[in-house]
Structure 1
Amino acid sequence: MTPRCAVLDDYQGVALSMADWSPLSDAVDVHTLRQPFRSEDEVVAAIGDCEIVVAMRERTPFPASLLARLPRLRLLITSGMRNASIDLDAAARHGVTVCGTASNTEPPVELTWALILGLARNVVTENTALRAGGPWQSTLGADLHGRTLGLLGLGKIGTRVARIGLAFGMDVVAWSRNLTPERAAEAGVRAATTKEELLESSDFVSVHLVLGERTRGLLGAGELRRMRPTSYLVNTSRAAIVDQPALLQALRENWIAGAGLDVFDQEPLPADHPLRTLPNVLALPHLGYVTRRNYEGYFQQAVENITAFLAGTPIRQLH
């Protein structure tokens, strides 16, 4: 019997056009699913007969409870080489091989700057007014040149964001628990002594940390109150790094000027969620990695992963 492969969360309906799937045409029955799942039961009903699943980032989690309900599953592929929503230990116990793909760091960097610039120059507000025949020039933009950009995290993405900030003539400062002044200097930026120092001194704060036990809830009410009322918070990393109720309060009570958000504690964001309508929020539907080049890489390498697995030599395994 031909093994079945489900490509999950293909929101835009492009998965099959982003790669050459023909090497699998005689070996695997491939189908795509476009709608997000609302429950674990829905996932089981949709892919319970599949031996192979291709997941898009963390859109559909695979905890131990779900893996136990998918006895036919043998290969799980995720875009990217890290996926915190897959229980790798449970996968191993159930005999599921988990593989990943490469992921480019440039797209989330570019989107970070789209949010920063959109916030600074009130792009959405002014464009909406222009289209509606409203007032001509109703806002004053926030300057970037000469202002301070604070980066929480100075890894691959944070370092690239820093370079662009420097090109804009910004003073760039960074902080993470393990960041040294020497490492910051290599990137051309200053290392903040403390997280609090960074928050208090920055006009724009951008989050570029990996979500983990030490970073979950890193920015709570106390930290957000340390930011200036004229400053902006940008998060293109993971929502849980910022305490979400505290962020809502900060935005509603104007502790900060606004936020640019590409990640949320629930995705897709519910239709009635306040982040969809708060006037000082520029929100996008988790587009950081969603570019043609990334998708072409994800799906072409997914085909390669499936081919290698079927040949008995899995590649790009996650451990």
Structure 2
Amino acid sequence: MKLQCAILDDYQQVALKMADWTTIEEQVEVHSFSQHFENEEDLIEEIKEYKIIVIMRERTAFTASLFEKLPKLKLLITSGMRNASIDLAAASTYGVTVCGTASSSEPPTELTWALLLNLARNITLENRALRENGPWQSTVGADLHGRTLGLLGLGKIGGRMATVAQAFGMDVIAWSQNLTKEDTDKLGVRLANSKEELLKTSDFVSVHLVLSDRTRGIIGKQELEQMKRSAYLINTSRAAIVDQEALIKALEENRIAGAGLDVFEEEPMPEKHPYRTLPNVLATPHLGYVSEHNYRVYFTEAVEDIVAFLEGAEIRKIN
């Protein structure tokens, strides 16, 4: 009898087209689920017979209680090598091997710039007006050349952000708790003396930190009040890095010019969430990593992970 493999949250229904799954078809039967299971009971009912499960980023959380109710699960594969929604200790406790895949920093960098540029030049607003026979030019764009981009985090994505910003003629300043002048000098970036300095001097603030106990809520009410009223906040990293209630209030009161957001505390976003209607919010449904190249890498390496598991020699193991 073949092993059963489930691919969860295949929203675009492309997972089976993005890799050669025929290499495991003699041993494994693969099923793809495009719908998101919001209720854990419904999820368990659908996947309780599966020994292998492939998930995409944090779309579905794998908690201790979920692992406990999936006794047949032996291999969990996530896109990327880091997934904060997986309880790795619980996975080990219940005998589940967790493996990952490679992930490119280019797609989220490109999406971040798409949000930033759209905000700066009011592209969505002006496009809607053009399509609906609204006013011909109703906004004045914010310049990038000569303005300051503040980067919270200067890792792979932050570094790419800095390079593009410099091509636009922007001044780039960066800060994180462990960032050094040696790090910033390599990229020709100015090291902020403090988070407060970065927030007070930046025209655009872009978040590129890893979510951890130290970074959770690192941008809150006080930090948002330190930003210029004309400044924009862009977050394509993790929602919890920014205090969401404080951000919503700041946007409602126009304490900052606007926000470009690709990550949220609850995904898919609830129907009546304020981000859906606030006029100074440009939001996308967590598209940062969603690109053809990344998807081909994810699912190709997921197949490789399964092959290695079947051979008893796990690769890219996370737990």
TM-score of the two chains, using structure 2 as the length reference: 0.99
Which residues in structure 2 correspond to 1:177-188 (within 5 Å)?
Answer: 177-188=177-188
Structure 1 match to 2:101 = 101
Structure 1 match to 2:2 = 2
Of stretches 269-278 and 229-238 in structure 1, the one that deviates more from structure 2 is: 269-278
Structure 2 match to 1:204 = 204
The code of the aligned residue for 2:238 comes to R
d(CA) in 1 for partners of 2:184, 2:149? 14
Which residues in structure 2 correspond to 1:223-262 (within 5 Å)?
Answer: 223-262=223-262
Deviation at 1:271, TM superposition (A): 1.3
d(CA) in 2 for partners of 1:141, 1:229? 15
Indicate whether 1:189 and 2:189 are aligned: yes
Deviation at 1:187, TM superposition (A): 1.3
Structure 2 match to 1:309 = 309
Indicate whether 1:27 and 2:24 are aligned: no
d(CA) in 2 for partners of 1:197, 1:70? 49
Deviation at 1:37, TM superposition (A): 1.3
Deviation sequence 1:253-296 (CA, Å, 0-9, x none): 00000000000011001111110111000000000000000000
Which residues in structure 2 correspond to 1:96-245 (within 5 Å)?
Answer: 96-245=96-245
Deviation sequence 1:200-220 (CA, Å, 0-9, x none): 000000000000000000000
The code of the aligned residue for 1:318 comes to I
Deviation at 1:26, TM superposition (A): 1.1
Deviation at 1:315, TM superposition (A): 0.7
- Among the aligned pairs, what percent are the same residue? 65
Could you say what secondary structure the match of 1:173 adopts? Answer: strand
Could you say what secondary structure the match of 1:309 adopts? Answer: helix
Structure 1 match to 2:41 = 41
Could you say what secondary structure the match of 2:12 adopts? Answer: coil
Structure 2 match to 1:74 = 74
Deviation at 1:181, TM superposition (A): 1.2
Indicate whether 1:91 and 2:123 are aligned: no
The code of the aligned residue for 2:44 comes to V
Deviation at 1:85, TM superposition (A): 0.8
d(CA) in 2 for partners of 1:89, 1:282? 37
d(CA) in 1 for partners of 2:134, 2:318? 53
The code of the aligned residue for 1:67 comes to F
The code of the aligned residue for 2:281 comes to V
Structure 2 gaps, min length 5: none
Deviation at 1:182, TM superposition (A): 1.5
- Deviation beyond 2 Å, 4+ runs, structure 1: none
Could you say what secondary structure the match of 2:179 adopts? Answer: coil
Structure 2 match to 1:297 = 297
d(CA) in 1 for partners of 2:163, 2:43? 42
Deviation at 1:244, TM superposition (A): 0.4
The code of the aligned residue for 1:105 comes to S
Please provide the CA RMSD for this pair: 0.6
d(CA) in 1 for partners of 2:212, 2:31? 33
d(CA) in 2 for partners of 1:291, 1:182? 33
